[in-house]
């Protein structure tokens, strides 16, 4: 479905001109959509009523509807469940961070989904458990950012492609959404404020980095330094094993000198050993990669345990002692089912 969210200035201009209105009306529309984040036609004030009427007959402005909003605690993660036009659910998260020197107003990160379900099927992830339905459009991706900005009144500072779905498996829409997010006529985020997280589709990683000239941040879900363990957690590792993945990342690091981040979901008794810490350091050190350690957020479908806070800290210390930069992520959203895709999965099951 075609919506104005997700359209480029050229596409909006073609629509405006073919509807019999002057070109400059397109620039006005682009501004209302991406800078002011309007969500209804009647919020657009400097276009004649007949123009808005005619355009609304030809196209839609938006494609999503808010179904549920869940907040963990004051100042903490907020989760949003949206419904698409064809009746499917997707989720997005707002992650506020405290003020610091770098971000005096506090960072406000929106985590967007790129697919309904996910074909990668990581065993510990709720998104991978539900049925894969379809890719999201670029409009449905960027509209999540606009809606959260409007719903919360917050100035969104960062966008991460870490919600439901594998962004590089929906390559075209992801690239178009990034374009809209970082262009000055669009949401105008600095490219370094946008992060794409991938499970490791090696050829697509190279294509992605080349397309954005390394400007948009890349985060790779590592989860293990041992092929067998990684394959049991992230099945796509059988197709793109660590050797191939690391050789692609080394190329990116060498040619573009870009920083790479590894995400590491820490699962008690599965990938929290000293052998893993050593393996991770061997992989990450030559790339000077940063490691985000995320304690596993248990889901019913994967009955392993979250590490204790002490065990998570010990694992991080093991990495730090080997000279790596490590961040231990808080699981602030556990009480609101903030595990990737969990809120949607519950809703889909209730519907079934
Ligand atoms: S962790 Fe990401 S790639 Fe893996 S199943 Fe979940 S959404 Fe897909």
pLDDT tens readout for residues 28-42: 999 999 999 999 999
**Cα of 318 from ligand 1 centre, angstroms:** 26
Mean pLDDT of 165-178: 98
CA of 7 to the centre of ligand 1 (A): 27
112: pLDDT strictly greater than 90: yes
One fold for both 9-58 and 64-351?
A: no
Which whole number is the average pLDDT over 87-95?
A: 94
pLDDT band at 77 (very low <50, low <70, confident <90, very high): confident
145 pLDDT more than 90: yes
> What is the 3-class SS of the chain, one letter each residue?
CCECCCCCHHHHHHHHHHCCCCCHHHHHHHHHHHHCCCCCHHHCCCCCHHHHHHHHHHCECCCEEEEEEEECCCCCCEEEEEEECCCCEEEEEEEECCCCCCCCCCCEEEECCCEECCCCCCCCCHHHHCCCCEECCHHHHHHHHHHHHHHHCCCCCEEEECCCCCHHHHHHHHHHHHHHHHCCCCCCCCHHHEEEEECCCHHHHHHHHHHCCCCCEEEEECCCCCHHHHHHHCHHHHCCCHHHHHHHHHHHHHHHCCCEEEEEEECCCCCCCHHHHHHHHHHHHHHCCEEEEEECCCECCECCCCCCHHHHHHHHHHHHHCCCEEEECCCCCHHHCCCCCHHHHHHHHHHC
Ligand 1 proximal residues by C-beta, below 6 Å? 118, 120-122, 125, 127-128, 164-166, 199, 340
Pick the range with the lowest mean pLDDT from 37-41, 64-68, 106-110, 173-177. Answer: 106-110
pTM, 2 dp: 0.93
Summarize the confidence of residues 339-350 as an average pLDDT.
59
pLDDT band for position 345 (50/70/90)?
Answer: low
Which ligand 1 atom sits closest to the C-alpha of 197? 2
- Percent of the chain whose predicted confidence (pLDDT) is above 70: 90
Q: Is residue 332 scored above 50 in pLDDT?
A: no
CATH architecture, domain 64-351: Alpha-Beta Barrel (3.20)
Give catalytic residues, as residue numbers. Answer: 91, 340
pLDDT for the residue 336: 45
Q: State residue 349's pLDDT score.
A: 58
Question: What's the confidence (pLDDT) of residue 40?
Answer: 97
Q: What is the pLDDT of residue 330?
A: 67
Domain 9-58, classified CATH 1.10.150, yes or no: yes
**pLDDT of res. 232:** 97
What residues does each domain of the chain span?
A: 9-58, 64-351
Average pLDDT over all residues of the chain:
91
């Amino acid at each position: 479905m075609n919506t104005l969210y997700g359209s480029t200035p050229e596409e909006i201009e073609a629509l405006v001109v073919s509807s019999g209105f002057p070109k400059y009306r397109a620039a006005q529309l682009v501004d209302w959509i991406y800078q002011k984040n309007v969500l209804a036609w009647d919020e657009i004030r400097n276009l004649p009523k007949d123009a808005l009427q005619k355009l609304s007959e030809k196209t839609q402005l938006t494609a999503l509807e808010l179904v549920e909003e869940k907040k963990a605690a004051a100042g903490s993660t907020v989760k949003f469940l949206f419904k698409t036009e064809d009746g499917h659910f997707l989720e997005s998260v707002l992650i506020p961070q405290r003020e610091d020197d770098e971000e005096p107003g506090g960072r406000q990160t929106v985590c967007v989904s790129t697919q309904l379900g996910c074909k990668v099927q990581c065993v510990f992830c709720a998104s991978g458990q539900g049925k894969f339905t379809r890719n999201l459009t670029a409009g449905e991706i960027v509209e999540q950012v606009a809606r959260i900005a409007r719903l919360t009144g917050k100035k969104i500072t960062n966008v991460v492609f870490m919600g439901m779905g594998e962004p590089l498996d929906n390559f075209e829409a992801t690239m178009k959404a990034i374009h809209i997010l970082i262009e000055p006529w669009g949401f105008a985020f600095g490219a370094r404020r946008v992060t794409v997280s991938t499970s490791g589709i090696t050829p697509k990683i190279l294509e992605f980095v080349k397309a954005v000239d390394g400007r948009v941040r890349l985060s790779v879900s590592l989860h293990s330094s041992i092929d067998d363990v990684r394959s049991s957690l992230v099945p796509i590792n059988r197709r793109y094993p660590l050797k191939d993945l690391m050789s692609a990342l080394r190329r990116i690091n060498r040619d573009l000198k870009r920083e790479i981040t590894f995400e590491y979901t820490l699962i008690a008794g599965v990938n929290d050993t000293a052998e893993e810490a050593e393996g991770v350091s061997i992989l990450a050190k030559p790339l000077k990669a940063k490691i985000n350690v995320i304690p596993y957020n248990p889901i019913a479908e994967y009955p392993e345990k979250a590490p204790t806070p002490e065990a998570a800290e010990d694992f991080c210390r093991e990495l730090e002692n080997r000279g790596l930069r490590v961040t231990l992520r808080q699981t602030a959203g556990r009480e609101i089912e903030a595990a990737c895709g969990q809120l949607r999965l519950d809703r889909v099951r209730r519907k079934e």
